Amino acid sequence: MSKLLVIADVKGDGIATPRGLELANKLGLNAEVYAFVYAPLSRLKVTAAEKAAIKKRLLAEREAEVGSRISKFSRDDQKVKLKVLWEKDVADWVSKKCSKSNYQMVVKTGSQTESFAHASTDWQLLRECPAPVVIVAEKKWRRTHLVMAALDLGSRLPAKKKLNADILRRAIELADAMSANLEIISAVEVPTLLDDLDLIDTHSYVEDAKEDMAPHVRALSKQFAIPEKNFVVKRGPVEKVIASQAAGRRAQIVVMGTVGRKGVKAKLIGNTAERVLTHLKTDILALKP
């Protein structure tokens, strides 16, 4: 059976574990929960045996804590594997694990902080993890049943068109599993410089873009048996359009694509998924091309 990897929360209410177990159950996946512990013990003025005892104690406490959470939120017939690891670089470990084993997705609670000098685990996973990544929001809207797919309907690049199809497949799978409705959102971003200099007619630019998107919408509508009325196109920066539409429709999860970048460029110019995360207040499933 296919499987899902959950990164247990280090602290707080442990949103990733119950949300991950719920997703695994609804999608019919086995769940593997990995909890990480690390503390710099090298500077402690104790013997090697005492350091080993401290490490063993920390691992045992973490296992008990996460195990209790799993017992509380898993179903009686649900297969859940728990592993507690002494590891400092969580993102790197998870990325390597996913490159060696086939996971349908990785689930992690989102963190909205990052500095130039140190990329957070969220950003590292979005850029480097070979498996799709679900970043879950600690607080999100309740009592709504909507899955939202964010597509780039303006691109005619084969890779982007394939990614659009992959996003829709995942979104449909989630909507079916969650007994939710499906809506597709796409943005028409007007070039700010040209608009500021009055070099284009904004209304005409947007209408022309929507007209260019129409054949793509019709093709996807036919391919996936989705009513064309479920496709929504709005003007504005991609991240703001997606976040605004998700908030207005109270989407439970947004499925979208991301292009992983590495190095300084990634820290200076975050990809679309990273920018959306700073605005979005619900779960997001990010897929790579």
**80 found inside a domain:** yes
pLDDT tens digits for range 143-154: 678 999 999 998
pLDDT of residue 192: 65
pLDDT of residue 126: 85
Percent of the chain topping pLDDT 70: 87
Segment 232-254 shows an average pLDDT of 92
Residues 128 and 151 in one domain: no
Of the two residues 255 and 120, the one the predictor is more confident about is 255
Residues 181 and 108 in one domain: no
Domain count along the chain: 2
Of the two residues 274 and 225, the one the predictor is more confident about is 225
Query: Helix, strand or coil for residue 198?
Result: coil
Percent of the chain topping pLDDT 90: 58
Residues 96 and 151 in one domain: no
Q: What is the mean pLDDT of the chain?
A: 86
Residues 180 and 118 in one domain: no
Nearest-angstrom CA–CA distance, 286 and 106 = 10
pLDDT of residue 198: 63
Residues 242 and 277 in one domain: yes
Query: Helix, strand or coil for residue 93?
Result: helix
Segment 124-138 shows an average pLDDT of 89
CATH number at residue 173: 3.40.50.12370
pLDDT tens digits for range 3-30: 999 999 877 567 899 999 999 999 999 9
- Helical ranges in the chain per DSSP H: 16-27, 48-73, 90-100, 121-128, 158-178, 192-196, 202-224, 238-249, 263-268, 272-277
Q: State which of 104, 136, 168 marks the end of a domain.
A: 136
Residue 188: is its pLDDT beyond 60? yes
pLDDT tens digits for range 98-130: 999 999 999 998 875 544 444 578 888 888 899
Cβ atoms of 272 and 239 closer than 8 Å: yes
**179 found inside a domain:** yes
Q: What are phi and psi of 283, to 5 degrees?
A: -70, 150
pLDDT of residue 116: 42
Asked which of 107-116, 179-188, 238-247 is least confident by mean pLDDT, the reply is 107-116
Residues 125 and 191 in one domain: no
Q: State which of 136, 158, 186 marks the end of a domain.
A: 136
Residues 150 and 48 in one domain: no
Residues 15 and 63 in one domain: yes
Residue 69: is its pLDDT beyond 50? yes
pLDDT of residue 94: 96
pLDDT of residue 232: 96
**227 found inside a domain:** yes
Residues 163 and 88 in one domain: no
Between the CA of residue 273 and those of 33, 43, 146, 178, what are the distances in Å?
24, 39, 19, 23
Q: State which of 106, 136, 166 marks the end of a domain.
A: 136
Number of H helices and number of E strands within the chain?
Answer: 10, 10
Name, of 98-112, 149-163, 170-184, 201-215, the range with top average pLDDT: 170-184
Range of the domain at 201: 146-287
Residues 217 and 127 in one domain: no
What tokens does 226 get?
């989705």
Cβ atoms of 55 and 86 closer than 8 Å: yes
pLDDT of residue 139: 73
What tokens does 179 get?
């007994």
pLDDT of residue 118: 42
Q: What residue type is assigned to position 223 of the chain?
A: Q
Residue 266: is its pLDDT beyond 70? no
Residue 261: is its pLDDT beyond 60? no
**141 found inside a domain:** no
Residues 166 and 112 in one domain: no
The number of beta carbons lying within 10 Å of the beta carbon of residue 28 is 10
Cβ atoms of 70 and 80 closer than 8 Å: yes
Which residues share a beta bridge with 181?
A: 146
